Chains A and B, each alone.
Chain A
Amino acid sequence: MNIQVDILIIGAGLAGLRAAVECVDQATVAVVSKVFPTRSHSGTAQGGITASLGNEEEDRWEWHLFDTVKGSDYLGDQDAIEIMVKDAPRAIYELEHMGVPFSRTPEGRIAQRNFGGHTRDYGKHPVKRACHAADHTGRVVLDTLYDQCLRHRVKFYSEHYLLSLVMERGRYAGAVLYDLATGELRLIQAKVILLATGGCGQIYKTTSNGFASTGDGLSLAYRSGIPLEDMEFVQFHPTGLYPMGILVSEAARGEGGLLRNRLGERFMERYAPAVKDLAARDIVSRAILTEIRQKRGIGGKAYVHLDLTHLEKEKIEEKLWEIASFVRIYLGIDPVYDPIPVKPTCHYVMGGIPTDVNGRVLLDEKGSIAQGLFAAGECACVSVHGANRLGCNSLLDLVVFGRRCGLAMKQAISKYGHSTISNDSLRIVEQKIEDFFNSKGRERIVDIRQRMQSLMMEVGSVFRNEEGLRTGIEEIRSLKERYKNIAVTDKKKTFNFELMEAMELDHQLTLSEVILFSALHRRESRGAHYREDFPQRADRYYLKHSLVSQTSKGPEIRYKPVKITRFQPEARVY
């Protein structure tokens, strides 16, 4: 079945929904999502969304800008960051006007809390900048935006899985989707397409990311000829619940929680003397793993404690309800009385599809525009997060650049008609599915996926080195060979998740290689990318964005400069 719309949005997290709200009044919009919209991964964001509102104490957008630049280890593009932090207060008020139920100060204003890396007066003291609704901020913003979309009659295609991007005479002109409920293919033709497909945390064994975060949009863009930017920068959130990796928000430390090692020491005092437990995530994750390596993990195991026991019970119940419930359900202990076992967990990919500040996808280091294609959210790289994202800047990125994409797409559609699309794109996908069903291979999806996930933890997580990265790339390539012989044994059409997971695995393997390849070529340590064999930041050689493209000979790397406007790189000390 073929469908024609002005704007096709792929992904129903905050970026996709915010874009949809922006353009639905002037265009026909279809939003496609592999899960039901309110099941999108944005909903699991807990701690908040940043803006220099100054509701709790003095704050300025210039400080927010500085913190984000410093947090990015000077790899973020400062022009884009400036747009984001200046627009932040407006974006928050707008969400509030839409109905987002933010927590409140005694004066009735939006409540704000401390978060890692957010400071007053250019790094001097922590500042309360994260606007929040207890510790379910992502979920309530997601619900509010979804409800706005319903109100404005946005057309949703839920449980539709993106199979391919369709190009017609050099323009992105549509997408082929797989209706999970029926197994039917749909070709949706559009004047412009927004990729808002989220991240790819599921390529790591320990992750806070949901099952759907398999990087489909990233991989399909890459295969269609778009380079991927800064993919070596993968954020490990310091406090994943041990052993599963479920996120325990930085809000726990923002509200006063402390990290402790086997000896009961507040070890962050040694790693970040000024802001201690509220340092940026890459710093805290490395500190935790260093403590564990130096045998100061709890009971000799691979975790440390996040201690909330000195906080008032009422504060935990009111401000950290979700977190407390996770600890009770998944560990059977009570954070009011027991310290929480935590270890770093794969959380966010800073890199992604390169875009300009209006979400237009860029084809190369010169900034040529990919016609008809936009990207926003975790799958995009504007780049506002550089080498390390600060907590609560992601939701801000989603709503600020989601909206900007919406505005830019509205403008763009007036210039274009629909291209005539041949049915070739459908036939190619049909053939691919047939091939899966007819495969005589014996490899199991689960075996390849689990090996990939373990391997990425071993060689591509917080600590990296040349040897590990080289062997990692070799092994990913051999997994790709094995992948050619996978079996899809479920041949039915209704909710064939095995088929979907087969395709997801293909994307995951592609992205694993890109991440390791980018990491191998960055012979320095910056932000979340830490090379044991090159432990220093090397601005002279690597103050630049990597761009990895697919070629017939495998991935190829190029670079483009970082946009520096106000803050020259300095030593990054917290």
Chain B
Amino acid sequence: MMLVKLKIFRFDPGKDEKPYYQNFEVEADPMDRLLDCLNRIRWEQDPTLSFRMSCGHGICGSDGMRINGICGLACQKLVRGFQEEVLIEPLPVFKVVKDLIVDLDPFFEKYFSIKPYLLTKTPPPDQERKQSPEDHKIFEEAIRCILCACCTASCPINQNKETEQYVGPAALVRAFRYLFDSRDEASEERMALLDQKDGAWGCQTLWKCTEVCPKEISVTKQIGQIKKKIYEAKHGEKV
């Protein structure tokens, strides 16, 4: 067992004038998750500590937060990786609702704005639409996205008030997933949506999204692929 020291961001807008930090200490097995520590605090020390969780193993995307300054999932971090005090804060970019819980409505509005569903004109065949394994492979990595919002929260463009309208990396990963799906028949419509200052061009290739992605998606590269496709479509030449 080891003693884990946590310094946690606290803020209840209904009660607190401003946010503050609170220190906790928890006994934990080195193989415990940071999420286990947060739960132990809530169950045994302070039931008012609020954070989201669901699956506990990096599939649902509920427990994105800033851990020692880097956005990640509390369920994916083992405490043995932390020798010093761990600083835990809510995801930046979004409004804090309470403690580590942020308002993700704007995140999902942007997500929805890119039309995250297959668009087709041809009626479907009786069986499956065919797709070669090679065509599937193009977007295979993108379907690992769990919408945890760590990438968008880490993006300096989204963090900057002047450019916060940028649709953000998570929405663009999903846009990539459909734009490069050989079954989709709405390339032009999708590119028109993405060919905007706050669309794909909002990305300034700063790589923060890629660095933090808990599912190891090469986010920046995929956004680059979108830009390339738009450019080529408009200029009729390969880059």
Check if A and B associate. yes
- The answer to whether B43 touches A446, judged by C-beta atoms less than 8 angstroms apart, is yes
- The answer to whether A41 touches B61, judged by C-beta atoms less than 8 angstroms apart, is no
- The answer to whether A139 touches B59, judged by C-beta atoms less than 8 angstroms apart, is yes
Of B84-92, B129-137, B188-196, B219-227, the segment with at least 4 beta carbons within 8 Å of chain A is B129-137
CB distance from B148 to the nearest CB of A (A): 10
Give per-residue flags for B133-177: 1 if the beta carbon is below 8 A from chain A beta carbons, else 0: 101100110011011000000000000000000000000000001
Q: A36-B104, A495-B101 are in contact. Are A134 and B56 (CB under 8 A)?
A: no
- The answer to whether A35 touches B136, judged by C-beta atoms less than 8 angstroms apart, is no
Going nearest first, the 7 A-B pairs with the smallest beta carbon separation are A99-B118, A108-B130, A498-B47, A446-B43, A39-B60, A39-B54, A495-B50
- The answer to whether B127 touches A93, judged by C-beta atoms less than 8 angstroms apart, is yes
Contact among A107, A144, A246, A488 for B57, CB-based, below 8 A: A246
CB distance from A99 to the nearest CB of B (A): 3
- How far is it, in angstroms, between the C-alpha of A326 and the C-alpha of B215 when the chains are bound? 11
Contact among B55, B135, B216 for A44, CB-based, below 8 A: B55
Q: Which residues of A contact B236 (CB under 8 A)?
A: none
Q: Which residues of B contact A438 (CB under 8 A)?
A: none
- How far is it, in angstroms, between the C-alpha of A102 and the C-alpha of B131 when the chains are bound? 9
CB distance from A112 to the nearest CB of B (A): 11
Give per-residue flags for B42-76: 1 if the beta carbon is below 8 A from chain A beta carbons, else 0: 11100110101111111111100000000000001
Count residues on chain A whose CB falls below 8 Å from chain B CBs: 62
- The answer to whether B117 touches A210, judged by C-beta atoms less than 8 angstroms apart, is no
Q: Does A279 contact B (CB under 8 A)?
A: no
CB distance from B102 to the nearest CB of A (A): 12
- How far is it, in angstroms, between the C-alpha of A36 and the C-alpha of B55 when the chains are bound? 12
Q: Which residues of B contact A99 (CB under 8 A)?
A: 117-118, 178, 181, 183-184
Q: Does B26 contact A (CB under 8 A)?
A: no
Q: Does A151 contact B (CB under 8 A)?
A: yes
- The answer to whether A150 touches B112, judged by C-beta atoms less than 8 angstroms apart, is yes
- The answer to whether A210 touches B128, judged by C-beta atoms less than 8 angstroms apart, is no
Give per-residue flags for B15-34: 1 if the beta carbon is below 8 A from chain A beta carbons, else 0: 10000000000000001010
- The answer to whether B128 touches A489, judged by C-beta atoms less than 8 angstroms apart, is no
- How far is it, in angstroms, between the C-alpha of A38 and the C-alpha of B143 when the chains are bound? 13
- The answer to whether B98 touches A101, judged by C-beta atoms less than 8 angstroms apart, is no
Q: Which residues of B contact A492 (CB under 8 A)?
A: 12, 14-15, 48
Contact among A38, A134, A490 for B147, CB-based, below 8 A: A38
- How far is it, in angstroms, between the C-alpha of A36 and the C-alpha of B44 when the chains are bound? 26
- The answer to whether B55 touches A210, judged by C-beta atoms less than 8 angstroms apart, is yes
Q: A98-B118, A105-B133, A134-B140 are in contact. Are A35 and B54 (CB under 8 A)?
A: yes
**Chain B residues in the interface with A (C-beta under 8 A):** 12, 14-15, 31, 33, 42-44, 47-48, 50, 52-62, 76, 78, 97-99, 101, 104, 112, 116-118, 124, 126-133, 135-136, 139-140, 143-144, 146-147, 177-178, 181, 183-184, 215-216
- The answer to whether A41 touches B55, judged by C-beta atoms less than 8 angstroms apart, is yes
Q: Does A110 contact B (CB under 8 A)?
A: yes
Within 8 A of B (CB), among A24-79: 35-36, 38-41, 43-44
- The answer to whether A133 touches B143, judged by C-beta atoms less than 8 angstroms apart, is yes
Q: Which residues of B contact A212 (CB under 8 A)?
A: 54
Q: A43-B59, A136-B143, A325-B58 are in contact. Are A110 and B47 (CB under 8 A)?
A: no
A-B contact pairs, 18 of them (CB 8 A): A39-B60, A40-B54, A41-B54, A44-B55, A44-B59, A99-B117, A101-B177, A103-B133, A103-B136, A104-B131, A104-B133, A107-B130, A109-B128, A109-B130, A133-B143, A136-B143, A492-B15, A494-B14
Q: Does A322 contact B (CB under 8 A)?
A: yes
A149's closest neighbor in chain B, by CB? Answer: B117
Q: Which residues of B contact A148 (CB under 8 A)?
A: 117
A109's closest neighbor in chain B, by CB? Answer: B128
Q: Other CB < 8 Å A-B pairs besides A99-B118, A330-B31, 17 of them? A: A93-B124, A96-B129, A106-B132, A108-B130, A136-B59, A136-B143, A140-B143, A148-B117, A181-B97, A244-B57, A246-B56, A332-B78, A446-B44, A490-B47, A492-B15, A493-B14, A495-B98
Q: Which residues of B contact A493 (CB under 8 A)?
A: 14
- The answer to whether A147 touches B117, judged by C-beta atoms less than 8 angstroms apart, is yes
Contact among B48, B53, B60 for A490, CB-based, below 8 A: B48
- How far is it, in angstroms, between the C-alpha of A133 and the C-alpha of B56 when the chains are bound? 21
- How far is it, in angstroms, between the C-alpha of A182 and the C-alpha of B215 when the chains are bound? 32
- How far is it, in angstroms, between the C-alpha of A102 and the C-alpha of B101 when the chains are bound? 33
Q: Which residues of B contact A494 (CB under 8 A)?
A: 12, 14, 50, 97-98
Within 8 A of B (CB), among A128-172: 133-134, 136, 139-140, 143-144, 147-148, 150-151
Q: A101-B143, A494-B14, A495-B98 are in contact. Are A43 and B55 (CB under 8 A)?
A: yes
Contact among A93, A211, A332 for B53, CB-based, below 8 A: A211
Q: A330-B31, A492-B12 are in contact. Are A210 and B48 (CB under 8 A)?
A: no
Q: Which residues of B contact A210 (CB under 8 A)?
A: 54-56, 60
Give per-residue flags for A460-483: 1 if the beta carbon is below 8 A from chain B beta carbons, else 0: 000000000000000000000000
- The answer to whether A39 touches B61, judged by C-beta atoms less than 8 angstroms apart, is yes
B15's closest neighbor in chain A, by CB? Answer: A492
B126's closest neighbor in chain A, by CB? Answer: A93
- How far is it, in angstroms, between the C-alpha of A112 and the C-alpha of B31 when the chains are bound? 35
- How far is it, in angstroms, between the C-alpha of A326 and the C-alpha of B58 when the chains are bound? 8
Q: Which residues of A contact B14 (CB under 8 A)?
A: 492-494
Query: Which of B33, B117, B124, B216 neighbours the largest number of chain A CB atoms within 10 Å of its CB?
Result: B117
B63's closest neighbor in chain A, by CB? Answer: A39
CB distance from B59 to the nearest CB of A (A): 5
- The answer to whether A101 touches B136, judged by C-beta atoms less than 8 angstroms apart, is yes
- How far is it, in angstroms, between the C-alpha of A175 and the C-alpha of B228 when the chains are bound? 51
Q: Does A329 contact B (CB under 8 A)?
A: yes
- How far is it, in angstroms, between the C-alpha of A151 and the C-alpha of B114 when the chains are bound? 11
Contact among A36, A110, A329 for B76, CB-based, below 8 A: A329
- How far is it, in angstroms, between the C-alpha of A446 and the C-alpha of B46 when the chains are bound? 12
Within 8 A of B (CB), among A227-271: 243-244, 246
- How far is it, in angstroms, between the C-alpha of A368 and the C-alpha of B52 when the chains are bound? 40
- The answer to whether B128 touches A39, judged by C-beta atoms less than 8 angstroms apart, is no
B133's closest neighbor in chain A, by CB? Answer: A104
Q: Which residues of B contact A36 (CB under 8 A)?
A: 52, 62, 104
Q: Which residues of B contact A321 (CB under 8 A)?
A: 144
A105's closest neighbor in chain B, by CB? Answer: B133
- The answer to whether B132 touches A104, judged by C-beta atoms less than 8 angstroms apart, is yes
- How far is it, in angstroms, between the C-alpha of A372 and the C-alpha of B174 when the chains are bound? 38
- The answer to whether A44 touches B143, judged by C-beta atoms less than 8 angstroms apart, is no
Q: Which residues of B contact A109 (CB under 8 A)?
A: 127-128, 130
- The answer to whether A39 touches B55, judged by C-beta atoms less than 8 angstroms apart, is yes
- How far is it, in angstroms, between the C-alpha of A144 and the C-alpha of B177 when the chains are bound? 12
Q: Does A497 contact B (CB under 8 A)?
A: yes
- The answer to whether B62 touches A35, judged by C-beta atoms less than 8 angstroms apart, is yes
Q: Which residues of B contact A495 (CB under 8 A)?
A: 50, 97-99, 101
- The answer to whether B57 touches A102, judged by C-beta atoms less than 8 angstroms apart, is no
Q: Which residues of A contact B101 (CB under 8 A)?
A: 495
A38's closest neighbor in chain B, by CB? Answer: B147
Query: Which of B47, B53, B143 neighbours the largest number of chain A CB atoms within 10 Å of its CB?
Result: B47
B132's closest neighbor in chain A, by CB? Answer: A108
A156's closest neighbor in chain B, by CB? Answer: B108
Q: Which residues of B contact A40 (CB under 8 A)?
A: 54, 60
